[in-house]
Structure 1
Amino acid sequence: MCAKTIETQDITYETLLQGNKDWVKDMIDNDPAFFDKLSAGQSPPVLWIGCSDSRVPANQITNTKPGDVFVHRNIANVVVHTDMNMLSVLDYSVNVLKVKHVIVCGHYGCGGVKAALGDKQVGIIDNWLRNIRDVYRTHEREMATIKDAEQKFDRLVELNAIEGAANIINTSIVQAAWANGQELAVHAWVYSLKTGLIKDMKVTSTGLNDVAPAFKVG
């Protein structure tokens, strides 16, 4: 039997610790060697770059287990070439873990993307959202043709994920892996909070031929 899920309004510091104990019991009841295998090491085939939004947990929405997905999350799943945190995660994933897939996953209804569409000052995060506004500027001609506000919002979510995936393949990390013959695919997805389904944006990249000449290195 699975541990009872705690309602959001009932979550406290103490219930989190108790929830951990309940989860451990469930895992051991289902597989007595679960933690022995988990502690032996990791070899996840996937790196997930997603939004920090609490409603978009990588393992749950892909029905995968602990150890299956290496995860990096930030506000609005932004991929920017100056982010040493993201680059360190990418480097470790590609060169040490040897992941076979890197997925940049956005989600409809993303608060960060919505804030980037507005003109109100939010705080220090405005500097981070600038990266999403750059995506808008890059696709300004297309965005100008979309009159419905919700559709425009959704499309910027999609474009942000697509541009994020493009920024991944433009890194020296990924290009070096491809140059060395490593099997690696980069994808852009968008998750729907309303349906629970993932939309594949069909922009998968698998080799150096997918890198624009201006960004090729080495």
Structure 2
Amino acid sequence: MQSYEKLLLENKAWAEEVRDRDPGYFDRLAAAQKPEFLWIGCSDSRVPADIIVNARPGAVFAHRNIANQVIATDFNCLSVIQYAVQVLKVPHIIVCGHYNCGGVRAALDRQRPDLPLLNKWLMHIKDTYRAHRDEIDALNSETERANRLAELNVIEQVIRLSQFSIVQSAWQEQQRPTLHGWVFRLDDGLLHQLVTLPPGSDVDVIYQQRRGQDS
């Protein structure tokens, strides 16, 4: 049996188990989605959003990329944010990184000539490292340096979210969403809060939206 065939069989078994336990489950699931959370996480296969918070399908609207970045020119991520905020009207956005992140570790190293696209993607994390180089380089081990950069990367993405006009408009008009920055420990399965920005949090004036205008 091929590995992908096993996935299909597991899906069938899961669907049958859910249907036996709750006959109306899939009817409700198909009706509509009204998630409470937008989750922006890492593509790492060890950090599946729904599983690590024990959420049922429909609770978490998710976007994942390498090293959980929020980049102003990434229209994939921006369209997810816009849909979540303006259409789904989520009250919370969570940026979740994790320790021992391969993308973060790579950002601490020199660029690889065989991975030109990945090099460009990691530039934003390298910028965060450069801004905090003294703090990070003072740490004793490569693991500590990578883990601290993973934390700082999450915080930076949450701050960047607050700079988007999509978020600022929702803050002004509807007092939502609250922005959260979390990090996940692979060795014990626990999430740790790093930063929380409620609606109306301070935003540097250079990033503020003019009242009544979109940017």
What's the TM-score once normalised by structure 1's chain length? 0.92
| CA distance in structure 2 between the aligned counterparts of 1:120 and 1:205, rounded to whole angstroms | 33
| CA distance in structure 1 between the aligned counterparts of 2:89 and 2:163, rounded to whole angstroms | 18
Instruction: Return closer, same or farther for 1:130/1:18 CA change in 2, 3 Å cut-off.
Output: same
1:11 Cα offset (Å): 6.3
Aligned residue type for 1:39 = A
| CA distance in structure 2 between the aligned counterparts of 1:143 and 1:11, rounded to whole angstroms | 44
Matched, 1:95 2:91: no
Instruction: Return closer, same or farther for 1:11/1:213 CA change in 2, 3 Å cut-off.
Output: farther
Aligned residue type for 2:135 = E
1:148 Cα offset (Å): 2.3
Does the 8 A contact of 2:111 with 2:119 survive in 1? no
Instruction: Return closer, same or farther for 1:15/1:209 CA change in 2, 3 Å cut-off.
Output: closer
Could you tell me which runs of 5 or more consecutive residues in structure 1 were left unpaired when the two chains were aligned.
1-9
Report the equivalent of 2:197. Answer: 205
| CA distance in structure 1 between the aligned counterparts of 2:107 and 2:176, rounded to whole angstroms | 35
Identity across matched positions, percent: 48
From 9, 12, 18, give the equivalent of 1:18.
9
Report the equivalent of 1:59. Answer: 50
Report the equivalent of 2:62. Answer: 71
Q: CA RMSD in A?
A: 1.3
**3-state SS in 2 of match to 1:163:** helix
Aligned residue type for 1:94 = V
Instruction: Return closer, same or farther for 1:171/1:11 CA change in 2, 3 Å cut-off.
Output: farther
1:79 Cα offset (Å): 1.0
Aligned residue type for 2:196 = T
Instruction: Return closer, same or farther for 1:11/1:177 CA change in 2, 3 Å cut-off.
Output: farther
What's the TM-score once normalised by structure 2's chain length? 0.93
Report the equivalent of 1:169. Answer: 162
1:143 Cα offset (Å): 1.8
Report the equivalent of 2:24. Answer: 33
Aligned residue type for 1:139 = H
Aligned length: 208
* Partner deviation per Cα, 1:78-109 (whole Å, 9 max, x = no partner): 11111111110000000110101100000001
Matched, 1:116 2:107: yes
| CA distance in structure 2 between the aligned counterparts of 1:54 and 1:11, rounded to whole angstroms | 19
| CA distance in structure 2 between the aligned counterparts of 1:166 and 1:66, rounded to whole angstroms | 28
1:207 Cα offset (Å): 2.2
1:141 Cα offset (Å): 2.9
Could you tell me which runs of 5 or more consecutive residues in structure 2 were left unpaired when the two chains were aligned.
211-215
| CA distance in structure 2 between the aligned counterparts of 1:188 and 1:207, rounded to whole angstroms | 14
Report the equivalent of 1:188. Answer: 181
